[in-house]
């Protein structure tokens, strides 16, 4: 009998260890405790690196600016549909695959303001944010494993003006039929989620984990 936990479970455990170490380092004032929390963080980095096929130093660099009480990362996206029911997607320069406009939330902006900003930068369209469609915990969906624990907010946007792309993170913009989606950047969005967003906007519903 194989007693090794499934990959996602191992990653969840390693992320939890790292969160405990980060929070402990934030609150402790004892040198002994600080050393122990740093050791736990190093072990967690090594575990995450093994699961994600990375070097431990690379993982440590990813979390180098993560300090204070540990919290999930917030990914804000916007679903924009045209009159024909097609979905607006942008192609990510990082992996050549498609996604909803969006990204990490910026300090100083509300979630809705972040969503509108991302659409403007990545697609050239100016949108009004109509309402929230979904608040998802990516750990509860079959996304590829991520070193971060991510919460995803997806808003519904309506186009009010066209313009030029001003960001550098995307290199193409297009509307797609829901039954003919291009290869998606699955860490960002999945086909089933796009179809679910269409159902939510048609039904006036909000979904949350």
One-character DSSP codes across 65-110: T--SS---EEEEEEEEB-TTSPEEEEEETTTS-EE-SEEEPPTTS-
Environment class of 59 (CB within 10 Å of its CB; exposed 0-12, middle 13-18, buried 19+)? buried
Parallel, antiparallel or unpaired: strands 98-99 and 170-176: unpaired
**1-10, 30-39, 53-62: which range is least confident on average?**
1-10
Q: Hey, CA dihedral for 49, 20, 74, 106, is it positive or negative?
A: negative
Q: Is the pLDDT of residue 201 over 90?
A: yes
CATH number of 73-208: 3.90.79.10
Q: What is the mean pLDDT of residues 47-71?
A: 66
| DSSP code for 41 | H
Q: What is the pLDDT of residues 81-97, one digit of tens each?
A: 999 999 999 999 999 99
Provide the whole-model pTM: 0.74
- Residue 1: what pLDDT? 41
Sequence ranges of the domains in the chain = 7-62, 73-208
- Percent of the chain whose pLDDT exceeds 70: 89
Q: What is the pLDDT of residues 123-176, one digit of tens each?
A: 999 999 999 999 999 989 999 877 778 999 999 999 999 888 877 889 999 999
- Residue 13: what pLDDT? 82
- List residues bridging with 161 in a β-sheet: 126
Q: Given phi > 0 = left and psi -120 to 50 = alpha, else beta, which region is 23?
A: alpha
Per the model's pLDDT, the better-predicted residue between 6 and 152 turns out to be 152
């Amino acid at each position: 009998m194989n007693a090794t936990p499934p990959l996602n479970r191992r990653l969840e455990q390693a992320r939890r260890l790292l969160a405990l170490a980060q929070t402990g380092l934030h609150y402790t004032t004892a040198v002994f405790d600080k050393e122990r929390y740093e050791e736990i963080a190093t072990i967690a980095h090594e575990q995450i690196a093994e699961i994600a096929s990375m070097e431990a130093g690379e993982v440590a660099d990813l979390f180098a600016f993560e300090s204070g009480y540990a919290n999930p990362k917030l990914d804000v996206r916007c679903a924009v549909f045209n009159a024909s029911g097609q979905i607006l997607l942008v192609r990510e320069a990082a992996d050549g695959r498609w996604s909803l406009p969006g990204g990490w939330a910026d300090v100083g902006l509300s979630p809705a303001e972040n969503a509108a900003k991302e659409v403007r930068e990545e697609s050239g369209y100016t949108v009004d944010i109509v309402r929230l469609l979904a608040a998802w915990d990516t750990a509860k969906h079959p996304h590829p494993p991520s070193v971060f624990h991510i919460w995803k907010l997806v808003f519904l946007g309506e186009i009010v003006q066209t313009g030029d792309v001003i960001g550098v993170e995307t290199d193409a913009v297009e509307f797609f039929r829901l039954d003919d989606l291009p290869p998606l950047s699955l860490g960002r969005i999945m086909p089933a989620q796009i179809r679910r967003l269409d159902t939510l906007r048609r039904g006036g519903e909000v979904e949350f984990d």
